Structure 1
């Protein structure tokens, strides 16, 4: 398998280090084009550590590259440098292509390289303050030369040259906390073979998909595999970032879709993904918007799809009593938080205090000042309380089971009375609950309740979803493509997204709409086959948009292709 390094970073499971081919701008910063060594720890002001610059006689030269799960090759007509992973904290670079590391010291504070010695072994310690990271670089074979101008505690420039006069082998180790020389020499070929084997073993554990989508499945598996980071700092368990491009966090609904992709054959990893946000649950029951190894963001939250997720996990995993108890306690507190803290007018329906809380940040349903009351939130809570009732039954908590079922029924009735007009879902804003005119797909997410909805309501929702209001040649647009508010790259105002697609198709599947579900799943798999694991897609052209290596897109493709095809 080959992939585009301009879209998908080269990394390995567990690592916070990546290599990317970047253009002239990255995260709003003007940069030189090239292949960059990057750091995705959450403490980094900038993820850029160094640019790899192929050179001859000190002058940068043209080059090509090729990326696969086991290695990146950088080459010209005569020479080549290959990069692979010894382990999640150790990179190996082997070849005869002369190059230098530009550690981007110019204009930054406290970035420099210094000689370091352990016994008779020579290293360079690279201190990258903007990246809050340090690295040890050693030449196992060949020579290194530092060209650096030191001035008042900082390097004005810092270049580490790798001579290509003879074959070289470099070892680059992360020194994020404590580092000790392991005193080892490494075999590049063996390390690359092990990387290939590790990825293939992971890929074999992913959900099976139709043969025609094997290319999409393989790239999806790679995005998920490399998206995982080891416990570090605030993260106490292995976690899957949404991407190692720039969305280097775990958001509190994205993780649910990633848990589902792992559930079939990786139960421990699946449970870790499902529970990772609950490690940060407050006493009130709230779980944060997002986390990484150094930051917890509480400004927003995300929708309570965790009951929906738990129900799906229970279908494919054998959960222990201890796991059910853990999920029940945490899910109950999360549900109670919504009921206690997000029903400001006391009408029995919860509100979003910002579009970000819904996950649909800028959807047209939020065109009026919050609070905004939407039927999707009510539907998620109904489903979540239904699941809490089911789990309470399993745990022989009969009173709790009855209580959650009663509360679910009350909310369902409130949703149908207040958030539907003439069978169609509506958005309401403010404490006066005035109607917000919009043509957002978010209003139709209550189909996730399936046959829990009255037959007439189901039929109205199905009729709209299967019309051309949202449906395009590539899937379901998040804003009607007939709407004057539709934007081709408008985030939640038009593009096709993985989570909205899966939530809606899951509900339609329960309603018996098998033909439509299969057709939409085929379209989504074709999108990934064509445009990769993009954050979202142009609804009318299928072009991949925004972050191009997004794990929930990968996970949704794998799960839907397995479940629905």
Structure 2
């Protein structure tokens, strides 16, 4: 598969190294995704050179190799592979590379050995070792009191060939023997081949989507470091390089069939960082976990799907661990997110729902929304079943009672004759006038509790108000608030599609579920694995290389196509 790295970054499983082409400047970049998406990722701007002068080149990228070819002399070529998680091998014939550091004040480079140079990226708290195996290096790095004024390192062939290695580490470089470039390339090829062979098979017409989804999910994993206690599948290595606490659920579900430990690790990362109050972080990266917001309580539902997919998750010790953590996060919503038992739990911000700018939040905050109550009812019903399985009879009854009470309150407070509504809690309660968000149809997730007339009402609204060529719009397309590229005000999103399709299939609407699954999978043929899609053209929007889109495609293709 040929990648367009201005859209889909070149990286590998476990690595923080990323090669990209800046879509605006068209510059080739070596980046690093430590520190999360608020941290600058650009390390070096890269030029192709011959005898010290920049030359034009073309770029060809597969899943495991980046090749730069001289336009004036096609025999001039550079090959790049990320052979190991923290190691890049680069070989060249006829041409070389100039690395121009994108530096901050204290960043500096020093000679480590006769053919080695250590670069200190001060603001990111990482170090890099450049090791020359064959070739020659010219370093232009004038010192200016506390750091190099600028840093430009030129690496070119000695004779006709060059080979050097770049490594990434935190404190101390460990001496090692380097393999040839050929051996390094074979190593990463084998790693990717094993991964792609483990991905689900799909109908032939979706083979290109399978290839792209397989690569994105593989290449977006980073290795454990600091706050990241386990391997984490980031949402993207473009600019959303964190792991979020509902995105992780969809990636875990996809991984559960053939990569159960990695799947479980996506959930355990948040258990490792769970607050004493019970809430999971909004997101985590290697540097910190953020509690500024949170995400909706879909985790018990996700874990249930993991259990259906693989008996690995039915081991008693796994169930016990998940039960304790899910109990804590559910109690957080019951205790800390409602004023009293006469109202439902509240979202304090649109980000808490995962639907950041949905119309439900246009009147203000906090919001009493039916999707939150529905997710919690489902979570408590699942916890009740888990408690019974674990012999915790009193807890089983308590969860069932809490779920029953919340269901009655949901219908009493938010169900109207024509659908669900939401309430703004300000000095006094006010019904929110905006009722065209798909968010208000998410109580379909508790279709097993809803009367038939309410289920049918929701499904009728889905078909009449939200169904588009490529799935369900997140704002009714006839709404005055609908926007083609409006984030949660129109575009089709992978997680919502999966949640609703799963509910429809579970509660008597399997033919509709299958139709929606096919519509979404068709979107990937047009817009790739984008963060979201234009509902009517299928154009990929925002981030063009997203993991939960990839995971949802792979699951829907396996389950419905």
**So what's the TM-score if we normalise by structure 1?**
0.95
The question of 1:399 aligning with 2:394 is answered yes
Q: Which moved more, 1:194-203 or 1:133-142?
A: 194-203
Q: How does 1:18-97 map to 2 (within 5 A)?
A: 18-24=18-24, 32-42=25-35, 45-77=39-71, 78=73, 79-96=76-93, 97=95
**Matched positions, count:** 551
Once the two structures are superposed, what CA deviation does each residue of 1:216-242 show, in whole Å capped at 9, x if it has no partner? 112111111111111101111111111
Residue matched to 1:384: 379
Residue matched to 1:521: 517
The question of 1:125 aligning with 2:121 is answered no
Partners of 1:455 and 1:535 in 2: CA distance: 34
Partners of 2:206 and 2:395 in 1: CA distance: 44
Once the two structures are superposed, what CA deviation does each residue of 1:153-208 show, in whole Å capped at 9, x if it has no partner? 222221111124521111111132221121x1322122222212211211222233
The question of 1:337 aligning with 2:332 is answered yes
Q: Contact between 1:423 and 1:456, CA under 8 Å: does it hold in 2?
A: no
Q: Secondary structure at the match of 2:151?
A: strand
Which of 242, 249, 252 is equivalent to 2:242?
249
Which of 344, 364, 372 is equivalent to 1:349?
344
Residue matched to 2:231: 238
What residue ranges of structure 2 are gaps of 5+ in the alignment?
none
Q: Contact between 1:475 and 1:524, CA under 8 Å: does it hold in 2?
A: yes
The question of 1:102 aligning with 2:100 is answered yes
Q: Contact between 1:206 and 1:261, CA under 8 Å: does it hold in 2?
A: no
CA displacement at 1:399 relative to structure 2: 1.6
Q: Contact between 2:466 and 2:475, CA under 8 Å: does it hold in 1?
A: yes
CA displacement at 1:57 relative to structure 2: 4.6
Q: Secondary structure at the match of 1:115?
A: strand
Q: Which moved more, 1:41-50 or 1:535-544?
A: 41-50
Residue matched to 2:284: 291
Partners of 1:387 and 1:444 in 2: CA distance: 21
Partners of 2:186 and 2:212 in 1: CA distance: 18
The question of 1:497 aligning with 2:497 is answered no
Residue matched to 2:320: 325
Q: Contact between 1:69 and 1:195, CA under 8 Å: does it hold in 2?
A: no
RMSD: 1.5
Partners of 1:208 and 1:281 in 2: CA distance: 36
Once the two structures are superposed, what CA deviation does each residue of 1:526-546 show, in whole Å capped at 9, x if it has no partner? 211221111111222211111
Q: Which moved more, 1:40-49 or 1:377-386?
A: 40-49
Partners of 1:127 and 1:488 in 2: CA distance: 44
Q: Secondary structure at the match of 1:157?
A: coil
The question of 1:200 aligning with 2:197 is answered no
Partners of 2:200 and 2:429 in 1: CA distance: 44
Which of 129, 132, 138 is equivalent to 1:139?
132
Q: Secondary structure at the match of 2:406?
A: helix
CA displacement at 1:412 relative to structure 2: 1.2
CA displacement at 1:279 relative to structure 2: 1.0
Once the two structures are superposed, what CA deviation does each residue of 1:68-97 show, in whole Å capped at 9, x if it has no partner? 111111112321111102210110001122
Residue matched to 2:175: 181
**So what's the TM-score if we normalise by structure 2?**
0.95
Q: Secondary structure at the match of 1:541?
A: coil
Q: Which moved more, 1:398-407 or 1:457-466?
A: 398-407
Q: How does 1:465-476 map to 2 (within 5 A)?
A: 465-467=462-464, 469-476=465-472
Q: How does 1:209-248 map to 2 (within 5 A)?
A: 209-248=202-241
CA displacement at 1:348 relative to structure 2: 4.1
Partners of 2:155 and 2:355 in 1: CA distance: 48
Partners of 1:193 and 1:530 in 2: CA distance: 32
Q: Secondary structure at the match of 1:102?
A: strand
Which of 119, 134, 156 is equivalent to 2:149?
156
Q: Secondary structure at the match of 2:139?
A: strand
The question of 1:278 aligning with 2:274 is answered no
Residue matched to 1:454: 451
Which of 351, 373, 377 is equivalent to 2:368?
373
Partners of 1:514 and 1:500 in 2: CA distance: 17
Residue matched to 1:421: 416
What residue ranges of structure 1 are gaps of 5+ in the alignment?
25-31
Partners of 1:177 and 1:259 in 2: CA distance: 32
The question of 1:509 aligning with 2:505 is answered yes
CA displacement at 1:35 relative to structure 2: 1.1
Partners of 2:169 and 2:263 in 1: CA distance: 29
CA displacement at 1:211 relative to structure 2: 2.6
Q: Contact between 1:451 and 1:458, CA under 8 Å: does it hold in 2?
A: no
Partners of 2:50 and 2:555 in 1: CA distance: 48
Partners of 2:91 and 2:368 in 1: CA distance: 58
Partners of 2:116 and 2:151 in 1: CA distance: 15
Partners of 2:201 and 2:268 in 1: CA distance: 25
Partners of 2:111 and 2:203 in 1: CA distance: 54
Partners of 1:178 and 1:300 in 2: CA distance: 36
Partners of 1:157 and 1:57 in 2: CA distance: 21
Partners of 1:193 and 1:452 in 2: CA distance: 54
Which of 431, 437, 442 is equivalent to 2:433?
437
Once the two structures are superposed, what CA deviation does each residue of 1:378-429 show, in whole Å capped at 9, x if it has no partner? 0000100011011111111122112111211111121111111004011111
Q: Contact between 2:52 and 2:154, CA under 8 Å: does it hold in 1?
A: no
Q: Which moved more, 1:54-63 or 1:536-545?
A: 54-63
CA displacement at 1:33 relative to structure 2: 2.9
Residue matched to 1:27: none
Q: Which moved more, 1:392-401 or 1:431-440?
A: 431-440
The question of 1:557 aligning with 2:553 is answered yes
CA displacement at 1:210 relative to structure 2: 2.3
